[in-house]
Amino acid sequence: MSFSVRFFTLSRTLLAGVCCASVGAGCSNQSFAPSLVPQTPAVEPGRTIVRHIIAASSSYQVLYNFSGNPDGAGPLYMNLIDVNGTLYGTTYGGGIYDGVGTVFSMSTSGSEQVLHSFGAAGDGIKPYAGVIDVKGTLYGTTYGGGPYPGQGTVFSITTSGEEHVLHTFCTGSGTAYCPDGAKPIASLIDVNGTLYGTTSSGGLSEYGGTVFSISTTGKHFRVLHAFNGFPDGRFPFASLIDVNGTLYGSTTGGGNPYINGGTVFSISTTGKGFRVLHTFGGYPDAQAPEASFIYVNGTLYGTTPVGGAYQLSTGRGGTVFSFTTAGKHYRVRHSFGAGRDGYSPDANLTDVNGVLYGTTAAGGTYGTSYGNGGTVFSISTAGTHYHVRHSFNANVYDGRGPSGGLIDVNGILYGATFAGGTKQNGTVFALRP
């Protein structure tokens, strides 16, 4: 599956129900019971918005339903982070400037506060990824925005909401060639005070992508690697992971020119020693990884939204896979799509006491008018024990389409859904494993 087909298929799937959040958008909200839809008063950024809790089971709760304006809509490939007991995250849409995203904070009981609405002059727009915390300051990326041609930004923001653009991609380079990269989808990582990230486009070729580093002040920006496509891969969506001073990442395309299924790579923090560790083969192998890896006891684990043993037979796919830091002992641990186990996992895994937890953006138990809502699942590191912990049911305002990962805070998992909820603009939820 090519990059463009995969990307637009995913975007179309996730965005299918978002239009229902507004009257006259071409789809109906008549199935919603008005008495169940909370009326959230309009507030300015920085004001607290009252939470709405819907208990779907004894272990699962919807903590918050996004309404769009002003509080944000559609948290996408976003992992929440915990800073001293407060959760921070981003939304791809919503806010007060033409619906192009927000940064928000939230208590673990569900009270939300908008820290920043993107879209003012010179600002970034549409953050796909979440933020990270470096010594009390938050850092993140936006997919677009900044001065013309608007190819994305790196930004910082304080926990009180003071935002600064540290780097604008492709500034002054025209629209066809962006040597510093363009359109970052992944979150940043911090390694000894330097930030590292990827861009999904730009670099040596218009559509290759890059690995870059940047100082926390924004003054020192450097491209560490520009992807060519074959054999090194192209279109890196996922954030990097640091293991003992070596960075590991993936690309959603490139690698084998006949498969175009992506790669796993490693690179030093100085940009030297770039290596392709694995080239994905499609079916029954994994394909097109979009999420970062986690490192557990010497082994890296990841997910792919397509590929695996059932992609061709059911049209539903995805995998959990593992490999060593040397690129050896690659194994598909689980193939999605055989039944109601969920499919299309877009997010990274989370390790909780030796058990891996993740989400699928589709599939599960409930068939709805919007399609299957997705799942939260657990799997052993050996891949032998797989369990669906929760199936999202959009028919009861449960949320649907979780495309981000989970975070463990004091034994409770927190995550977000891109759509669903009482306003069809997404949710924040909690789940006790």
Q: Does residue 4 carry a pLDDT above 60?
A: no
| Site of tokens 């969920």 | 342
Give the chain's mean pLDDT. 86
Torsion, Cα of 270, 272, 277, 280 (10° steps) = 80
CA distance 387 to 100: 36
The answer to whether 153 and 145 have CB atoms below 8 angstroms apart is: yes
Helix (H, G, I), strand (E, B) or coil at 321: strand
Say what the pLDDT of residue 220 is: 97
More confident residue, 148 or 162: 162
pTM: 0.87
Strand partners, 223: 212
- Give residue-wise pLDDT tens across range 36-91: 223 233 333 443 333 333 334 459 999 999 999 999 999 999 999 999 999 999 99
Where do the structural domains in the chain lie, given as residue ranges?
Answer: 3-28+48-431
Return phi, psi of residue 3, to 5°. Answer: -60, -50
Q: 152: which 2 tokens?
A: 């994305």
DSSP E strand boundaries for 13-152: 48-49, 54-55, 60-65, 81-83, 86-91, 102-107, 112-117, 124-125, 132-134, 137-142, 144-145
| Site of tokens 């935002």 | 163
| Whether CATH 4.10.490.10 fits 3-28+48-431 | no
- Give residue-wise pLDDT tens across range 303-333: 999 999 999 998 899 999 999 999 999 999 9
Cβ neighbours, 10 Å, residue 193 = 9
Residue type (1 letter), 134: V
Res. 172 pLDDT band, cuts 50 70 90: low
Give percent of the chain with pLDDT exceeding 70: 84
DSSP class of 32:
S
Torsion, Cα of 352, 128, 428, 413 (10° steps) = 0
The answer to whether 405 and 417 have CB atoms below 8 angstroms apart is: no
Q: Does residue 156 carry a pLDDT above 70?
A: yes
The answer to whether 54 and 32 have CB atoms below 8 angstroms apart is: no
